[in-house]
Amino acid sequence: MLQDYQLLRIPGPTPIPPSVQQAMMKPMTGHREQDTKDLLKRVQPRLKKVFGTDEDVVIIAGSGTSGLEAAVVNTVAAGDEVLVIVTGSFGERFTEICKAYHLHVHTLHYEWGKALIPEEVASVLAANPSIKAVFATYCETSTGVINPIEELAATIKQSSEALVIIDGVSCVGAVETKLDEWGIDICVTGSQKALMLPPGLCFIAASKKAWNIIETNQQPRFYLDLRKYHHTSLEFSTPFTPALSLLYGLEQSLSLLELEGLSQVYRRHQMMKQMTRAAFKSLGIPLLTTDMFASPTVTAIIPDGDEPDALRKVLKQDFGIVLAGGQNKLKGKIFRIGHMGYCTPADILQIISCIEIGLFKIGTIQETGFGVMAAQQAYLQGESI
Amino acid sequence: MLQDYQLLRIPGPTPIPPSVQQAMMKPMTGHREQDTKDLLKRVQPRLKKVFGTDEDVVIIAGSGTSGLEAAVVNTVAAGDEVLVIVTGSFGERFTEICKAYHLHVHTLHYEWGKALIPEEVASVLAANPSIKAVFATYCETSTGVINPIEELAATIKQSSEALVIIDGVSCVGAVETKLDEWGIDICVTGSQKALMLPPGLCFIAASKKAWNIIETNQQPRFYLDLRKYHHTSLEFSTPFTPALSLLYGLEQSLSLLELEGLSQVYRRHQMMKQMTRAAFKSLGIPLLTTDMFASPTVTAIIPDGDEPDALRKVLKQDFGIVLAGGQNKLKGKIFRIGHMGYCTPADILQIISCIEIGLFKIGTIQETGFGVMAAQQAYLQGESI
């Protein structure tokens, strides 16, 4: 096979656009020099639009998990009651972080592949009025579910003062996100998903209410102390040396989002979801989630038995295509297609065509072409809406 | 002036070699795919040599400070007695981190520009036998002091069980570092200094004794829990999404260090230090540190009055050269030249020549050329040794 040829279709890291790669090639500058301040001054307000907020968004050098932990250690302290809604692997991660800090953790578990139900969250809150924060996942990467966080926030706000804290890592920048309008208090995302950058940055948006709580929260923390990031961001600086090459890239990735227009970015992701789902439906291969709660950024598919791993192997060998498998309790049972960031309907047609060949080779389907045909129809119909 | 022309001579971030830039352009790969495991398998053992250890070295996505904090939260817990040796700004940072975690902090302060004295550390330990860990800075970036950490470790080990924990951020990879031989328990460094990478990675080496303590330490932590990094590193993996582009670059920067040979890398840095110091001595402009404790990676110079900032301004305007100023109590009083990583004796001759012109323009010196002449002589003498 052609050496070095690879099509990365996992739900993050996602491919890097050439112009973002180019931007990251800029030589290092002093992180306390005017150049870096100017860069942060240009970037900070533009990040707010991605989160749908007028409040400040801060940038940490770290994996997405460092952002999830920051959301915990800055808002609550040992012994505080919290509720974690678990719809998959990343809900579990929030639980682990909360337990590591000796919080009093309530959990609300949903079957993997199902979305959370806001009314059930309200019941838990009604029964446990001391809960100070509710942690939920916007797109659960492990299952391809997009949780109804707008409804969740509205429901919580009706009856509770609890902070609404959202892991938006695998979808913010690809799906509509309106923190201020929806009443979300904290939302975290990472660089390596819809924002089309390598991993290594995370972004944290917080409401006025959350920033106030962060200011006075007693939990010990230092590197992840959001007060430090917030205070320095007001002067277009950072408390610690920022990951400069990724910041250079960020400016260009934000330009790409703005040139396309965020609403068109969201439509493109919806389109890719619909095309992907139409293809597998036409092939008679089950999808893990319902249409209603299917994420525009990642789709989980459930072929029979050993097929997921056999299929991924063929796609890698024949086409250099990398798909994701299942995590934890879904290991070996599903495969996942990431369709976010630097990915278009043309890429979906390609990936479906190749997957059909893979499915044919492992004996799951006897003819190829009907999946891609369905995806094409979804494209033409979607465009005409 | 030629647009985009810049010579970055601050003590980090340092310039990125073209081949490292090129390596970081590699397209993203799945962080759980074989490619990434293979990369970590190649890189991990090579990192050990930089630290002079046979024990495991782990990689975190974060600024250097995240590594300093990891060194704290993994070894001690609230209420524990620790000693922080403060020889400048980064000693202060260790103190702040320890205080944030409610440790019982003893400090031993030295005048900025002076090195620590191991016997005085021993006295503090003798008077406070409950001290569990001693924190010190190898190269104090803010002053250009290289502390005698080999002697420090030897002295501590004679009479105490305290862990010896070293911030090596601005020198590991540029100066001899032999953790195992010297008895250092933990050493931290960052990517953006001698390792010739953008900021965003930190590296933590630990002794067997330290790894044992890390395993059982009760301080709550999650993202910076070194156990997670250690356990996954044994399988050539990471607990959270690694900063992939920086890892691609790391492999190449390690190759550059190996091709030159670590001992020659150390000699090159010694040479650059000697050239720089010879130049300012010949110009009659004071240096902040003594020869004995001068760092091979950064030199702090003390011209009169307002000269440091005036000089930096001229160098930026005329030549695109970026020098560092003083930090905290040395703000406005010194300037600092970073000479580490992708920097050679030829660069020192250039920077000295340009600084002479700057000093001439601001009226500090009346003739130019004697500084560079002294640096040339230092080069020729150094080479003949």
Query: What residues of A are in contact with residue B61 (Cβ under 8 Å)?
Result: 61-63, 66, 199-200
Instruction: Dump pLDDT digits (tens) for A207-265.
Output: 999 999 999 999 999 999 999 999 999 999 999 999 999 999 999 999 999 999 999 99
CB-closest option in A16, A25, A198 to B243? A198
Which among B259, B278, B293 is the end of a domain?
A: B259
Do A173 and A235 belong to one domain?
A: yes
For residue A102, being part of any structural domain is answered with: yes
Do B371 and B235 belong to one domain?
A: no
What would the two tokens of residue A155 be? 């429901």
Do A116 and A48 belong to one domain?
A: yes
Distance from CA of B93 to the nearest CA of A (A): 10
For residue A2, the model assigns a pLDDT of: 82
What would the two tokens of residue B37 be? 């495991």
List helix spans (H) across A208-366.
208-216, 226-233, 244-260, 262-283, 307-319, 345-361
Do B179 and B273 belong to one domain?
A: no
Length of chain B: 385
In the structure, what pLDDT confidence band is assigned to residue B385 with cuts at 50, 70 and 90? low
Do A252 and A284 belong to one domain?
A: no
What is the count of structural domains for chain B? Answer: 2
What would the two tokens of residue B93 be? 């940072």
Cβ neighbours of B329 (radius 10 Å): 12
Do A337 and A286 belong to one domain?
A: yes
B24 and A245 within 8 Å at the Cβ level: the answer is yes
For residue A384, the model assigns a pLDDT of: 74
A28 and B21 within 8 Å at the Cβ level: the answer is no
For residue A1, the model assigns a pLDDT of: 73
Asked if A320 has any chain B CB less than 8 Å from its own CB, the reply is no
A243 and B243 within 8 Å at the Cβ level: the answer is yes
Do B199 and B330 belong to one domain?
A: no
In a 13 Å sphere around the CA of B255, the CA atoms on its Cβ side amount to 12
Do A60 and A106 belong to one domain?
A: yes
Query: What residues of A are in contact with residue B24 (Cβ under 8 Å)?
Result: 24, 245
Cβ neighbours of B255 (radius 10 Å): 15
CATH of the domain at B352: 3.90.1150.10
B8 and A31 within 8 Å at the Cβ level: the answer is no
Q: Chain A residue closest to B30 (CA)?
A: A13
Three-class HEC string of B123-142:
HHHHHCCCCCEEEEECEECC
Asked if A190 has any chain B CB less than 8 Å from its own CB, the reply is yes
Rounded Cα distance between A124 and A109, Å, is 12
Interface of A with B in 54-83 (CB under 8 A): 61-66, 69, 78
In the structure, what pLDDT confidence band is assigned to residue B190 with cuts at 50, 70 and 90? very high
Query: What residues of B are in contact with residue A200 (Cβ under 8 Å)?
Result: 61, 200, 243-246
- Report the relative pairing of strands A298-301 and A335-338 from DSSP bridges: antiparallel
Do A278 and A325 belong to one domain?
A: yes
How does the average pLDDT of chain B come out, rounded? 96
CATH of the domain at B193: 3.40.640.10
For residue B94, being part of any structural domain is answered with: yes
For residue B1, being part of any structural domain is answered with: no
State the complex-level ipTM.
0.91
Q: Give per-10-residue mean pLDDT for chain A (385 aa).
A: 87 96 95 94 98 98 98 98 97 98 98 98 98 98 98 97 98 98 98 98 98 97 98 97 98 98 97 98 97 98 91 95 95 97 96 96 95 96 80
Which among B218, B236, B259 is the end of a domain?
A: B259
For residue A245, being part of any structural domain is answered with: yes
Do A214 and A85 belong to one domain?
A: yes
Phi and psi based region of residue A341 (left: phi greater than 0; alpha: psi -120 to 50; beta: remaining): left
Closest CA to B337 of B264, B273, B271: B273
DSSP letters spanning A104-161 = EEEEEE--BTBPP-HHHHHHHHHH-TT--EEEEESEETTTTEE--HHHHHHHHHHH--
Do A252 and A304 belong to one domain?
A: no
Cβ A147 vs Cβ A175: under 8 Å: no
For residue B240, being part of any structural domain is answered with: yes
Which residue range is the domain that position B189 belongs to?
18-259
For residue A178, being part of any structural domain is answered with: yes
Is residue B384 predicted with pLDDT exceeding 80? no
For residue A2, being part of any structural domain is answered with: no
Does this model's pTM top 0.80? yes
Rounded Cα distance between B248 and B235, Å, is 18
Cβ neighbours of B364 (radius 10 Å): 19
Which among B259, B289, B322 is the end of a domain?
A: B259
How does the average pLDDT of chain A come out, rounded? 96
A223 and B101 within 8 Å at the Cβ level: the answer is no
Q: What 3-state DSSP class applies to A324?
A: strand
Rounded Cα distance between B86 and B95, Å, is 8
For residue B225, being part of any structural domain is answered with: yes
Asked if A223 has any chain B CB less than 8 Å from its own CB, the reply is yes
A78 and B220 within 8 Å at the Cβ level: the answer is yes
Do B199 and B322 belong to one domain?
A: no
